[in-house]
Amino acid sequence: DYLYIPLGGSRVGRWLNVRNIFIIFIVSGFWHGANWTFIVWGALNALYFLPLLLLNRNRINTNNVAEGKVLPNFQELVAMTITFSITLLAWVFFRSDNLSHAWNYLNTIFSASFFTIPHFEGMHLALTTLVLLLLFIVIEWFGREDEYAIEKLGLHWNRAYRYSVYYLLIFIIFWYGGQSVLGYEEIFT
């Protein structure tokens, strides 16, 4: 708001509003670091927002996905998949050391080898990570209407059982977390 409002915010014409959106997203790229990868990340996020802005649909999706339903409908599922995919695409630039590295990473993702099942030394760890990821996605999905998805997990369970599950989750995080603080420093090296 400290930049968007002085530029006129959304109370200006459509094209000035588009300009303002691009400015704030590109400045947010600069804010993260003096590297072209952050600028591309900001520009991509501005481009993602542009269709919603031009179609005046930027305020219609402020509620939870599939609110009050167990599963999303097909349209919601497609929208979630697109949002997730383009967010990950922008994150490739955000986490890369330089643009060349980002392009190499994206070329690898979209090459034919992406669709082959690799065999490598850490396959067991990768499968375990996938199972845990799916578990946490389920927890997030069912807790999506709460501030923290996990906060109500097991509230009606026996206290000893609930705390055992909590401690197990903490143990799993430390066991598979290794030396890394954030867990993704080595992904792009």
Q: What is the DSSP string of 149-169?
A: GGGGTTTTS-HHHHHHHHHHH
Evaluate whether 145 touches 137 at the Cβ level (below 8 Å). Answer: no
pLDDT tens by residue, 55-103: 887 767 667 778 888 888 999 899 889 999 999 999 999 999 999 999 9
pLDDT at 1: 61
pLDDT tens by residue, 134-181: 988 888 888 888 887 777 777 788 889 888 988 988 888 788 776 554
* 124 phi and psi angles, rounded to 5 deg: -60, -45
Question: Is 90 exceeded by the pLDDT of residue 115?
Answer: no
pLDDT tens by residue, 41-57: 999 999 998 888 888 87
* C-alpha to C-alpha distance for 75 and 57, rounded to whole angstroms: 16
Evaluate whether 43 touches 15 at the Cβ level (below 8 Å). Answer: no
Neighbours of 21 (CB within 10 A): 21
Amino acid at 36: W
